[in-house]
Structure 1
Amino acid sequence: MNKIFEVPLYAYEASPDQSAPAPVRHKVIVVGAGPVGLAAAIDLAQQGVEVLVLDDNDKVSFGSRAICFAKRPLEILDRLGCGQPMVDKGVLWNKGKVFFDERQVYEFDLQPDSGDQRPAFINLQQYYFEQFLVDRVRELQAQGAPIEIRGRNKVEAVGTHPDHVKLEVETPEGSYTIEADWVIACDGAGSPMRAMMGKDFVGRVFEDNFLIADVIMEADFPSERWFWFDPPFNKGQSALLHKQPDGVWRIDLQLGWDIDKEREKRPENVIPRLKAMLGEDVNFELEWVSIYTFQCRRMEQFRHGRVIFAGDSAHQVSPFGARGANSGVQDTDNLCWKLKLVIDGKAPESLLDSYDQERIHGADENILNSTRSTDFITPKSQMSRILRDAVLDLSEHYDFARPMVNSGRLSVPCVYDGSPLNSADALNGPSQTRPGASCPDAPLGDDFLLPKLAGRFTLLTIDADAPDEIEVDGITVKRLALSVKDDPTLTLKRRYLGDATGAVYLIRPDQHVAARRDTYEENAFRHAVRRATGKE
C-alpha cells in the first residue's frame, strides 16, 4: 500500500484567528483542498490575492480517484507552476483501442498532430496531483505569496451577506468564526457548502454502477486506453483498462443497477472478477476499490452572491470521458482572473456572472457528452443494444462507423460560443481559434506559444502591425509579435491564420480568444477589452 495516504500534508496548527476578539476578514477563502480548490488558491496567490484554504482533511485523497488529465488542463497547470511534475510522473498516452467481445474493432490516436508541447493525456493518481499542488503552495509561501492551508478546519455553517461571507469552522481545539470577501466552494460532489446553502443538483442519475479498482501488478500492456464492450470476462457489460505510474492499473467493470454495493467491494468478490479478466496466473494486489453510480447533474447556478462553486461541488458527470477533474481545473482558470479584476476594482462585479454563463455552458457540454456515452455503453432497450452492436461490428471494417462508437467522448477544451465577453469575429480564419476558443499551442523554435500568453491580456499579432502596448481603463495589454516564419512546421499558420495573410488576436488571461481581426484597429480592440472585462 502506498504510504502517501498516511502522511499529513498540512497538519492542524492553531491559527491566531481562533483566539481573535472578532472574526478576522480574509480576501478569499477556498473551501476544499482537493485538486480544484488548490488550483484556485494557487492561481489567486500568483496574482497577489490573499487566499486561505480550509479543509476538513489533512492528507491527500485515499485512492487514485481521478486519473486522466487532458492536454488543456496540463497547459493550465503549466501556468500554475506544476505542469512539469505532473508530466514527469504521469504515464503519457495518445492512443486507445476498442474491443467488442474478444475482437479489437479499431484503434485511435488523439494527437496525430505534433504541434503541442503537452500530450493528449497523462494518467496520474489524484494523490500525486494533490501532492504536487501542495508542493507548489509551499514554493509560493517560501516566496512570500499570500497563501495558507489549514488542515482539519471543517466548515460547519455559512452565512451570506451583501459584502461578505461568514463561516463557522470546527477544529480539534473547538470552533471559531471567520469572514471572507469571497468564498470559492470546492468541497466535492457531496458539497457540505451546497447543502448548508440549501442548493441542489438538477440532472439524471443513471441506473448503472461500475466497480473501480486500482490493481498493483507487473504487466506488459501498452500505455493505451483499452475499452471492451461485452467482453467474455464480463458478459453483457463493459470494461476499461488504464495504466498508471508505479505499476498501478485502473480497471473499471460494469456491474449493472440492482447490486449490493458494500458486498461487491469486498475482496472475495472483487478478486474473482479481476482474475476472470487478467487470467488466473497473474499476480496482483488490490490498492483501492470503489463503486461508482453514473450521474450527470449540476447546480442551476454556480455563483450565489459572494459564494462561487467550482468543480464537483458545482457539477458531476460519469467518469468515461475524463471530464470531471479536467473541467474543474477549467472552472478555476475561468474564474480567478475575473475575480482578481473585480477585487482590484478594474471590472464590475457583474463580470463574475460570465463565469456562470461560460462554465454552465461547459458543464452542459460535458453532461451532454457524458449522457450520450452512458446511453451507448449501457443501452436502455433491446433495440438500442442491437443498434449499438451493429455499429461496433461495422466499425471493425468501415471508417464511417467509428465516430459513432462511444466509449466516452474524451475531454477537449470548451469553446465559449455565445459568451457576452466575445467580440464579433472579423477574421475569416480557422474555426478552432474563433472568439471563445482556447488558444491551441504552436512550436516557436525552441519554445512554444502558450507560455508566452500566460496570465494577462495579450495582443497577439501574426505578420501584422500593432502598438507594443495599449491601456484600457487601467488594464495593460501587451503585444506579442510573431510571424509564420517563426514556425517552420506551419502549425501557427494552420491554427491561427488559415488563408489570411495576417491576424491580430486579443487573448484573455485564461488563454481564450476574446476578439480577432485581420488588422489592428484601435477603437475595435479597445471596445474588445472593455467587452472582455464586462464593461460593455
Structure 2
Amino acid sequence: MPAYSYDPQPFVRPPELDGGRTGAPVAIVGAGPVGLAMAIDLALQGVRSVVLDDNNVVSVGSRAICWAKRTLEIFDRLGVGERMLAKGVTWKVGRLFHGETEVYSFDLLPEDGHKYPAFINLQQYYVEQYLLDRAKEFPDLIDLRFLSKVTGHHAREDGVTLTVETPEGAYDLRADWLLACDGANSATRRRMGLAFAGQTFEEQFLIADIEMAESPFAQGQPERWFWFDPSFHPGKSALLHMQPDDIYRIDLQLDPGADAKAEATEEKVIPRIRAIVGDRPFRLDWLSVYRFRCIRLDRFVQGRVIFVGDSAHVVSPFGARGGNGGIQDADNLGWKLAAVVKGAAGPALIASYDEERGHGAAENILNSARSTNFMTPKTPVEALFRHETLRLAHDHPFARRLINSGRLSLPCSLAGLSLQTPGEGRVGEPMVDAPVGEGWLLPLLHGAFTLVGFGDIALPDLGLRRVGIGQSARDYPTYDDRTGHALQRYGTGLAYLVRPDGHAAAVFRGRVDPQALDAALSRAMGRDCERAMA
C-alpha cells in the first residue's frame, strides 16, 4: 500500500449537459500543479476558468519532488507556500561522491534573510492536494470538473470549442482561451499535429521511493547525495533525496537497452536498494522508469491555444527544472492573460509569454542536456573528459566546478527581452526577498505592477501601487529595512518597476521621471510591441 492516502474527487454534472452554459473565458485542460496554479492565479485577478481532468485523484507516485526557492515564492503568492514549507523537507547542502570518496559539498543558500529556503522536497501529490484545496476557495471563479476527458477541440479566431466526455455523456464547451496543461504526452498537442522537437537520450533511470525510518544522513540532516561510479552500482550514477513521511527517493542509472518493465520489479530493485541502505529496514512505496528527453514546441502560443508546462517543453529530471519550469510558466502567463481577458492589453502581451518562457525553456534544455551528457557520456571523448574531471576533482577545486550532476534550477532572467526597459542592475531578473518591516518584501509586490523605492528616492503618483523601503514617512506605505538585507541587495537611491510576476521591468536611479516611468509601464504591458505590429 502506498504511504499516501488518495481521496477521489466527485464528478459534478456540468450545466452544458442540461443545455446551460458556463461562460468562463478560460478553459484549462489538466488539473496537475500547472493547471491548478493557472486557475488560482487567474482567480486572484478575478478571471473565471473551467479546469478539466480525465482523472479524479491527485498525482499517483511522488513524481516531481524538488521545489526551488523561486517557485516557492510563486506558491506563496498563490496561497500555498507556507503550507508546503511546513510539510516539506528543507535542504540546501549537496554532496557529490566519486566511488566511495566525497569529492566536495555545496551550500545552495549560505546567506540568511530569505523567507523561503533554496529547496524543499515535497511529493507532487501533496502539492496538487494543497493547490486543489486552495482552488476550492474560489467556487465562483474556478469550476473544477473531474472525470471530464477532452476528446477534441476546434479553434476559432475568437475562441475554442472543446468536446468533453463524462460518465453522464458528452458535451461541447466554449471558451475564449484554451490552456493546454495536459503534460508531456499532451493530447491537445497531438491533436494539433505539432512537432515536439529536440533530443531523446537512450539512457534510462529507475526511480524508487522507499519508506525508511532510519535516516542515512549524518545527524539526520536532509541533504542531496549524488554518486558517480559507486561500489553499490559500479560504472553508473545514483542519487538519494529525503522526502516527508520517511520517504526517500533513489535514482539509479540503468544499463543501455535495459527492459524498463523488467527493471521496475521488486526482484530487481530490492537488492539494489539493500546495497545502498545496508541493513536498515525499508518498504518499497513507488517504482518508475524514465528516459531523458530535452524537447519543446517551437511556439507555445498557437492562436487561442496556449501550452503551459510539460505540454510545451520537457527536460530530464536532474536539476529540478521540469515542475519548477512549469510553475514559472504559469506565473508568467497568468497576469498577461488576465490583462488581455479584461481588455487592458492586446495580443502582443500574450506573444511575450512565448518569447519569455521560450527563452526559459531553451535555458533549461541547454542545462539539462549538458547534465545528461556529463552523467551519461555518448562518445569516447566525453567519457575521457568526465573521467579526468572526476579524477582531478579529488584534489583540485577548479575541476569541481566542471562536474555536472544536474545543475539545479535557478530563476530565469528576462534581461534584453521585449518587455524590459534596458537599464542597470536587476532589470529582467525576479526580485529577491528580504526582511522588511514586520514581514517580507516580496508579498508587498505580489500580483500587480508596483513601484518600489529603496533609500532616498521619491516615488511619483501615477496610479501604480508604491512601496518605500528604508525611507522616511511618505504619502505611500514605507517599511524599515530591519536587517539591512534589502538595501544591501538593491542599493540605495534606486526605484524598481516590478511586474505582477515579480520581475523588474525597469530601474531608476536618483529620480523617477514620470514620463520615463510611463514609457516603461507601457513597454511592460506590450504596448510598444502592439504599435510596432500595427
TM-score category of the 2 structures, normalised to the smaller one: over 0.9
Are the equivalent residues in 2 in contact too, given 1:102–1:231 (CA < 8 A)?
Answer: yes
Matched position secondary structure for 2:67: strand
1:533 alignment partner, one of 504, 525, 529: 525
Question: What letter matches 2:470 in structure 1?
Answer: S
1:63–1:30 Cα change, 3 Å: same
Matched position secondary structure for 1:232: coil
Are the equivalent residues in 2 in contact too, given 1:466–1:479 (CA < 8 A)?
Answer: no
1:447 and 2:439 correspond: yes
1:462 alignment partner, one of 445, 454, 458: 454
1:478–1:468 Cα change, 3 Å: farther
Note the C-alpha offset of 1:274: 1.1
Question: What letter matches 2:252 in structure 1?
Answer: L
Alpha-carbon separation, structure 1, partners of 2:111 and 2:451 = 26
Note the C-alpha offset of 1:3: 6.2
Show the counterpart of 1:292. Answer: 290
Alpha-carbon separation, structure 2, partners of 1:489 and 1:256 = 52
Note the C-alpha offset of 1:488: 4.9
- Within-5 A mapping of 1:37-186: 37-141=35-139, 145-186=140-181
Question: What letter matches 1:481 in structure 2?
Answer: G
1:3–1:274 Cα change, 3 Å: closer
Alpha-carbon separation, structure 1, partners of 2:153 and 2:222 = 45
Aligned residues: 516
Note the C-alpha offset of 1:139: 2.3
Identity of aligned residues (%): 51
Are the equivalent residues in 2 in contact too, given 1:5–1:61 (CA < 8 A)?
Answer: no
Provide the TM-score with structure 1 as the length reference: 0.94
1:479 and 2:466 correspond: yes
- Within-5 A mapping of 1:471-510: 471=463, 477-483=464-470, 486-497=480-491, 501-510=492-501
Are the equivalent residues in 2 in contact too, given 1:168–1:178 (CA < 8 A)?
Answer: yes
1:272-324 alpha-carbon deviations (Å, 9 max, x no partner): 11112222x22211111000100000000000111100011100000000000
Alpha-carbon separation, structure 2, partners of 1:525 and 1:368 = 35
Are the equivalent residues in 1 in contact too, given 2:3–2:285 (CA < 8 A)?
Answer: no
1:394 alignment partner, one of 376, 379, 392: 392
Alpha-carbon separation, structure 2, partners of 1:219 and 1:365 = 38
1:282 and 2:280 correspond: yes
Show the counterpart of 1:436. Answer: 428
Matched position secondary structure for 1:57: coil
Note the C-alpha offset of 1:5: 5.1
Alpha-carbon separation, structure 1, partners of 2:53 and 2:189 = 15
Matched position secondary structure for 1:206: strand
1:332–1:493 Cα change, 3 Å: same
Alpha-carbon separation, structure 2, partners of 1:4 and 1:282 = 22
Alpha-carbon separation, structure 2, partners of 1:464 and 1:457 = 21
Show the counterpart of 2:516. Answer: 524
Note the C-alpha offset of 1:24: 4.9
Question: What letter matches 2:36 in structure 1?
Answer: L
Note the C-alpha offset of 1:37: 0.3
Show the counterpart of 1:257. Answer: 256
1:372-399 alpha-carbon deviations (Å, 9 max, x no partner): 0001111112332232122223223322
Matched position secondary structure for 2:76: helix
Gaps of 5+ in 1: 472-476
Note the C-alpha offset of 1:401: 1.7
Matched position secondary structure for 2:452: strand
1:203 alignment partner, one of 176, 193, 198: 198
Alpha-carbon separation, structure 2, partners of 1:483 and 1:157 = 55
1:514 alignment partner, one of 492, 496, 505: 505
Alpha-carbon separation, structure 1, partners of 2:381 and 2:360 = 31
Show the counterpart of 1:6. Answer: 6
Matched position secondary structure for 1:234: coil
Provide the TM-score with structure 2 as the length reference: 0.94
Are the equivalent residues in 1 in contact too, given 2:238–2:252 (CA < 8 A)?
Answer: yes
Show the counterpart of 2:324. Answer: 326
2:212 alignment partner, one of 190, 212, 217: 217
Alpha-carbon separation, structure 2, partners of 1:140 and 1:396 = 55
Question: What letter matches 1:366 in structure 2?
Answer: N
1:147–1:293 Cα change, 3 Å: same
Are the equivalent residues in 2 in contact too, given 1:44–1:50 (CA < 8 A)?
Answer: yes
Question: What letter matches 1:29 in structure 2?
Answer: A
Are the equivalent residues in 2 in contact too, given 1:514–1:532 (CA < 8 A)?
Answer: yes
Matched position secondary structure for 2:135: helix
Matched position secondary structure for 1:406: coil
Question: What letter matches 2:168 in structure 1?
Answer: E
Are the equivalent residues in 2 in contact too, given 1:5–1:62 (CA < 8 A)?
Answer: no
Are the equivalent residues in 1 in contact too, given 2:450–2:499 (CA < 8 A)?
Answer: yes
Alpha-carbon separation, structure 1, partners of 2:52 and 2:203 = 34
Alpha-carbon separation, structure 1, partners of 2:304 and 2:146 = 23
1:143-168 alpha-carbon deviations (Å, 9 max, x no partner): xx411110000000010000010000
Are the equivalent residues in 2 in contact too, given 1:373–1:407 (CA < 8 A)?
Answer: yes
1:121-143 alpha-carbon deviations (Å, 9 max, x no partner): 000010000010011112233xx
Matched position secondary structure for 2:103: strand
Alpha-carbon separation, structure 1, partners of 2:521 and 2:130 = 34
